[in-house]
Structure 1
Amino acid sequence: MLVLALIPGPGVLAVVSRALTSGLRQGLIAVMGIVAGDYLFILLALFGLTTLAEAMGSLFVIIKYAGAAFLIWLGVNLIFSQCKVRGLQAQVKLPALYSSGNFSSFLLGLLTTLGNPKAILFYASFLPAFLDLTSVTSLDILAIFTIATLSVGGVMVCYVYFSIKAHTTIGRSNKVPALKYGSGVLLIGSGIFVAARG
């Protein structure tokens, strides 16, 4: 899980972009959303609901494209918030969902995970290979959640931390508009990545 968490993907792009644009706290809340999505997929795998998930395939496709659209929408709004009009910085008023509030950050992380079909396939195939799912105890579930939190959450927190460090360094060099533009491009790329994955 740790190795897979280290590989950059939509989750990494989402938390890095959120941390760069909204700060450490919002980046960490986005990480919480990602881990919550992993918890949901773990529960689906543990309780034999993968069959239900397959039967509800169209719902997961809708969630996937909704998550992708949300990421792209965030990125586009972030880019346009940096546009210049007549030499003046024109800050576009962003809708409340984009705001750097806790709910928005959590939703960003959650939708990124729920929109990534790789996550459910990973948990549906990974857990049965290492556990007899018919004899899982409450202690086993707690252990699995702890491992997911430490591996996925820990890696994402490190990405957030290093993003903040980079932001502090870049912020001193008056490159903040370029940083926000780059973060917007990352979010758009992440949304396209989620939408394009089979």
Structure 2
Amino acid sequence: MTLSVWLGFLLAAILIAISPGPGAAASMSTGLRYGYWSALRVILGLQAALLIQLLAVAVGLGALLQTSALAFNIVKLVGAAYLIWLGIQKWRAAPQEIDETSLRIAPNRLFIEGLLVNLTNPKAIVFIAALTPQFIDPALPQWSQFLVIGLTMCGVDMVVMSCYALLASRLRGWLHDARSLKAQNRFFGGVFVGAGVLLASSGQH
């Protein structure tokens, strides 16, 4: 991959990452509630999902989701259901003021949440399948190019999601009365439900 091609992909990766979506909502919600270091576990889960999706594209599964309406719809509905379930959980969560007890949450749970948010979004893998071939030179070894693309994509997304989480963590001082806590829960709950509904109503392209 030449430098000019890589710079083109870098720009595309930045534009994709800064577009708000379920991953940004998950990063901000966790950063606001538990702080950046907890949100980092969600962000790592998001990156693990991106690498799995890129691997799926590399071995041809992305093409299946692009061409098979049934496969796409199954993954889409599972992803939409998960996002809506997350939203309902956050909407119904009882206001709980931040203290040392409330900050104790299983690291694995946060990682898995981030993993599932991205992994159950078929639009992501279809987009990766449509984008990455534009930057792959068929005359060169493909796995090394996919490695560069994966590292670039995850590096950019991790920086952007970290910025979202850090911005949200700066607002944690807001979480000291029941009314504000309830508003925060319902805002992010609504974001996740809305993302789920949009995903459920979307097509393959």
8 Å CA contact 2:42, 2:110 repeated in 1:
yes
Give the aligned length. Answer: 183
Q: Report the Cα offset of residue 129 of structure 1.
A: 0.9
Q: 1:136 to 1:47 in 2, by over 3 A?
A: farther
The superposition leaves residues 79-103 of structure 1 with CA deviations (integer Å, 9 ceiling, x where unpaired) of 22238xxxxx8xxxxxxxxx94333
Q: 1:164 to 1:107 in 2, by over 3 A?
A: same
Q: Report the Cα offset of residue 45 of structure 1.
A: 2.3
Partner of 1:96: none
Q: How does 1:44-193 map to 2 (within 5 A)?
A: 44-54=56-66, 58-82=70-94, 100-133=105-138, 135-168=140-173, 170-171=174-175, 175-193=180-198
Unaligned 5+ residue runs, structure 2? 1-12, 97-103
Residues of 2 paired with 1:192 and 1:77: CA distance? 15
Unaligned 5+ residue runs, structure 1? 84-88, 90-98
Q: Report the Cα offset of residue 147 of structure 1.
A: 0.2
Residues of 2 paired with 1:21 and 1:189: CA distance? 20
Residues of 2 paired with 1:68 and 1:106: CA distance? 19
Q: Report the Cα offset of residue 125 of structure 1.
A: 1.6
Q: Percent identity?
A: 30
Residues of 2 paired with 1:183 and 1:147: CA distance? 29
Q: TM-score, normalised by structure 2?
A: 0.75
Q: Report the Cα offset of residue 131 of structure 1.
A: 0.8
Runs (4+) of structure 1 exceeding 6 A deviation are: none
8 Å CA contact 1:14, 1:109 repeated in 2:
yes
Residues of 2 paired with 1:33 and 1:138: CA distance? 23
